[in-house]
């Protein structure tokens, strides 16, 4: 479909899905590893286009529901504990393992995604930033995107930690009904009690860890894990690197610090399947954006994701 226009390719994929083509292909398929999906927010179906900056990180609830049905019906949803067992050689992975993850800790995940996950019996892991959550403030990139631009967000990611922190980390209070609000401590606690849901770390302030000294990285990681453990009543053993690009957004200091803090699985945005030989502190994920339809997800699972 490489030569087709985007709308035509989307229409073709939608009809292939409707005709059951993707299901039939997937049913016979063995993935090269785990497809770990990285979502962010889930938005109300009625939220108009371009209401919030970076809206393509917030998938419509109806789209998320269709993704979950596709995963349940054509793949094998697994939990982080299933992945741990496979990486440690204690269990085999199913043929088409899919692991659902969310980054940042948006309230919308609690409000819209958790009921769908529970209804369809799908495990998931949610990586949470503790600073803006506790302070009831915007995440820094949501604030900078609104105040400056999406391009400015990318510029700030390249700046050293201390300059960034002085200019970006102290954000505005967020209204509780804002789609960019993070969940409350009570909501996080409730989410952490649901069977199949694991809460993981994502730093206190969502910095680019590679721009910080080892000591500062340790503060961002250890304080985050401690707060989440206190709020959920459980030890926190997994982590997702903010921004997550291997070789760019974190470094050897980050991985050593995670290991010292008891983290046994850490996730990147490395955009490939996670195999049983994957390094446990660099597990790749596929980032899912709001315009990814169920047909597009099926197409990627069946064909287009590199294998």
Q: Are 280 and 266 in contact (CB under 8 A)?
A: yes
37 forms beta bridges with 100, 286
Distance between CA 237 and CA 4 in Å, rounded? 44
Q: Residue count at the site for Zn ion (CB under 5 A)?
A: 3
User: Pick from 99, 127, 97: which is nearest to 224 by CA?
Assistant: 127
DSSP string, 161-209: HHHHIIIIIS--B--TTSTTPBPPHHHHHHHHHSTTEEEEE--SS---G
Q: How far apart are CA 287 and CA 306, in angstroms?
A: 14
Stretch that binds Zn ion, among 60-68, 174-182, 223-231, 234-242 (CB under 5 A): 234-242
Among 17, 59, 75, 103, binds Zn ion (CB under 5 A): 103
Closest distance to Zn ion from the beta carbon of 236 (Å): 16
Residue 129 or 301 with smaller CB distance to Zn ion: 129
Q: What is the smallest separation between the CB atom of 168 and Zn ion, expressed in angstroms? A: 14
Query: CA nearest 85: which of 251, 259, 264, 208?
Result: 264
Measured distance CA(1)–CA(100) in Å, rounded: 27
Contact string 148-187 vs Zn ion (x = CB under 5 A): ----------------------------------------
Q: What part of residues 240-269 is at the interface with Zn ion (CB under 5 A)?
A: 242
* Residue number with CB closer to Zn ion (16 or 100): 100
| Nearest residue (CB) to Zn ion, 123 versus 242 | 242
Residue 31 and residue 98: Cα distance in Å, rounded? Answer: 9
Minimum distance from residue 206 beta carbon to Zn ion (Å): 6
For Zn ion, the nearest residue by Cβ is 103
Shorter beta-carbon distance to Zn ion: residue 139 or 301: 139
Q: Which stretch binds Zn ion (CB under 5 A): 45-53, 98-106, 111-119, 251-259?
A: 98-106
Smallest gap from residue 146 Cβ to Zn ion (A):
17
Binding mask 193-232 for Zn ion (x = CB under 5 A): ----------------------------------------
Q: How far is the CB of 208 from Zn ion (least distance, A)?
A: 11
Cβ count within 10 A of residue 131: 20
Whichever of 203 and 232 has its CB closer to Zn ion, that residue is: 203
Can you tell me the distance from the alpha carbon of 255 to that of 264, in angstroms, rounded to the nearest whole number? 10
Residue whose CB is less far from Zn ion, 74 or 125: 125
Task: Kindly state the tokens that stand for 175.
Answer: 């209204």
Least distance to Zn ion, CB of residue 103, Å: 4
Number of helices (H) and strands (E) in the chain: give both, helices first.
14, 10
Distance CA 22, CA 12 (A): 12
Nearest approach, Cβ of 30 to Zn ion (angstroms)?
31
By the rule CB under 5 A, 104 interacts with Zn ion: yes
Distance from chain centroid for Cα 263: 17
Stretch that binds Zn ion, among 42-50, 78-86, 100-108, 140-148 (CB under 5 A): 100-108
Is residue 143 involved in binding Zn ion (CB under 5 A)? Answer: no
Tell me how far apart the alpha carbons of residues 108 and 114 are, in angstroms, rounded to a whole number.
9
Give the shortest CB-202-to-Zn ion separation in angstroms. 6
Residues that bind Zn ion (CB under 5 A): 103-104, 242
């Amino acid at each position: 479909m490489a030569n087709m226009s985007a709308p035509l390719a989307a229409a073709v994929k939608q009809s292939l899905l409707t005709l059951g083509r993707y299901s039939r292909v997937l049913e016979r398929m063995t993935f090269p590893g785990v497809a770990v999906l990285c979502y962010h927010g889930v938005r109300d179906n009625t939220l108009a286009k371009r209401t919030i900056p970076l809206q393509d990180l917030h998938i419509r609830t109806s789209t998320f529901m269709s993704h979950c049905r596709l995963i349940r019906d054509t793949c094998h949803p697994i939990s982080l504990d299933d992945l741990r067992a496979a990486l440690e050689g204690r269990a085999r992975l199913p043929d088409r393992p899919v692991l659902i993850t969310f980054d940042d800790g948006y309230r919308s995940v609690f409000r819209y995604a958790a009921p769908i996950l529970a209804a369809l019996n799908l495990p998931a892991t949610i990586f949470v930033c503790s600073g803006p959550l506790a302070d009831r403030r915007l995440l820094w990139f949501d604030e900078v995107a609104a105040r400056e631009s999406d391009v400015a967000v990318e510029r700030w990611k390249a700046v050293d930690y201390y300059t960034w922190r002085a200019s970006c980390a102290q954000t505005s209070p967020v209204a509780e009904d804002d789609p960019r609000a993070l969940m409350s401590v009570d909501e996080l606690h409730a989410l952490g009690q649901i069977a199949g849901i694991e809460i993981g770390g994502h730093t206190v302030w969502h910095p680019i860890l590679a721009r910080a000294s080892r000591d500062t990285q340790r503060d961002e990681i250890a304080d985050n894990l401690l707060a989440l453990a206190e709020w959920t009543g459980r030890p926190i053993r997994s982590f997702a690197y903010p921004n997550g690009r291997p070789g760019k957004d974190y470094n050897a200091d980050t991985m050593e610090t995670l290991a010292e803090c008891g983290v046994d699985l850490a996730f990147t945005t490395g955009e490939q399947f996670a195999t049983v030989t994957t390094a446990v502190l660099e597990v790749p994920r596929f980032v899912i954006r709001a315009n990814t339809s169920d047909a597009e997800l099926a197409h990627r699972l069946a064909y287009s994701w590199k294998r």
